[in-house]
Amino acid sequence: MKKSDEKVLCEAIQAVEGEIRWHEPLSLHTTLKIGGPADVLVIPKDLEALARLVRQARKAPGRPVPLFVMGGSNLLVRDGGMRGIVVKLSRLQRITDLDETRIEAEGGVPLSRLARHALERGLSGLEFALGIPGTVGGAVVMNAGTREGEMSGVLIGARILEPNGEVRTLGREDMEFGYRWSRLPPGVIVGARLKLHQAGRADIRRRMAGFIDQRKATQPLTLPNAGSIFKNPDGTFAAKLVETVGMKGHRIGDAQVSERHANFIVNLGRATAKDVLKLIRLIGKRVEKETGITLELEIRIVGRDR
């Protein structure tokens, strides 16, 4: 990194309370355990610190400093890492009970923790979320979910930190969702408001246990992975297509198409982003050649090559 670039980064993070880690390997912060270093990783102490960081990064001399908010799941960081500032919201952990059926959670709350909180209150609607890695903010952005449900089904509002550092409240009418995507105003999702419904704790717990048992039986939960690699095309499943073209279990380096679920790529120990990308491209080419279907990525790929 050039000294001039380092100086600009220092000015952008000046007086921001929280953790500051220079040249932090992002492999320590992704569920796939892959990723080169960030120029600087910042974990703001609270919303005020995050707002300060956003304002200072935007007003950096010359041009705004690149700022990327990461959750770690459904993400592949290239081996060369990421320039600028990488932000984690892991200290934004507050959950607030608004009334009998509505909950508000800050963007850094783990989705599984929120699901357990709902269980404790006897609220149904988040059973699908138990076991999904990632945070509330990331779950809103990608409309995380399973066949049993998704975030857009329970979301009634959100709070977004705009590029000018101001917090704006979004209503459901301000957001648009589809299968594993959203259309939101520019900014960082720092909170979500959910509408659930009352149910017996025993029934909720039974549904959660069923979902977890199913995941354990069908997904490679014991190995580092980024979740589903491809979106399911209309009328079929990506895993079925990958298996049909003989790619299940295929390996490049230490990146392997899971033998348990063909829409997962697992890290057997020392996989690189380059290995994973080669595997993704090979799968895509084979599926398109043999079935005529073009697979669309569900994971997000960021950063630069080494």
Q: In terms of Cα–Cα distance, which of 178, 140, 143 is closest to 157?
A: 140
Note whether 108 and 207 are same-domain residues: yes
Note whether 151 and 210 are same-domain residues: yes
The answer to whether 296 touches 180, Cβ cutoff 8 Å, is no
Region 76-102 average pLDDT: 97
Work out the percent of the chain whose per-residue pLDDT is above 70.
99
Note whether 209 and 251 are same-domain residues: no
Distance CA 296, CA 199 (A): 37
Active-site residue, from 78, 180, 193, 286 = 180
Note whether 225 and 212 are same-domain residues: no
Active site residue 112: no
Whichever domain contains 103, its CATH number is: 3.30.465.10
Q: What is the dihedral of CA 85, 140, 147, 176, to 10 degrees?
A: -120
Work out the percent of the chain whose per-residue pLDDT is above 90.
90
Active site residue 228: yes
Total number of domains constituting the chain? 3
Note whether 176 and 104 are same-domain residues: yes
Q: What is the pLDDT of residues 274-300, one digit of tens each?
A: 999 999 999 999 999 999 999 999 999
Active site residue 73: no
Q: What is the pLDDT of residues 5-54, one digit of tens each?
A: 888 999 999 999 999 999 999 999 999 999 999 999 999 999 999 999 99
Contacts for 251-256: CB closer than 8 Å, 24+ residues apart: 251/279, 252/278, 252/279, 252/282, 255/279
Note whether 177 and 224 are same-domain residues: no
Whichever domain contains 258, its CATH number is: 3.90.78.10
Whole-model pTM: value is 0.93
Q: What is the pLDDT of residues 94-108, one digit of tens each?
A: 999 999 999 999 999
Note whether 241 and 153 are same-domain residues: no
Distance CA 269, CA 279 (A): 16
Note whether 177 and 288 are same-domain residues: no
Whichever domain contains 37, its CATH number is: 3.30.43.10
Note whether 252 and 288 are same-domain residues: yes
Domain end among 87, 105, 134: 87
Q: What is the pLDDT of residues 258-274, one digit of tens each?
A: 999 999 999 999 999 99
Region 173-177 average pLDDT: 94
Identify the pLDDT of residue 131. Answer: 84
Note whether 183 and 99 are same-domain residues: yes
Domain end among 217, 238, 271: 217
Domain end among 168, 202, 217: 217
Note whether 170 and 235 are same-domain residues: no
The answer to whether 250 touches 281, Cβ cutoff 8 Å, is no
Residue 148 structural domain: 95-217
Active-site residue, from 52, 228, 258, 286 = 228
Q: What is the pLDDT of residues 112-166, one digit of tens each?
A: 999 999 999 999 999 999 988 889 999 999 999 988 899 999 999 999 999 999 9
Chain center to CA of 176: 18
Note whether 200 and 225 are same-domain residues: no
Q: What is the pLDDT of residues 228-253, one digit of tens each?
A: 999 999 999 999 999 999 999 999 99
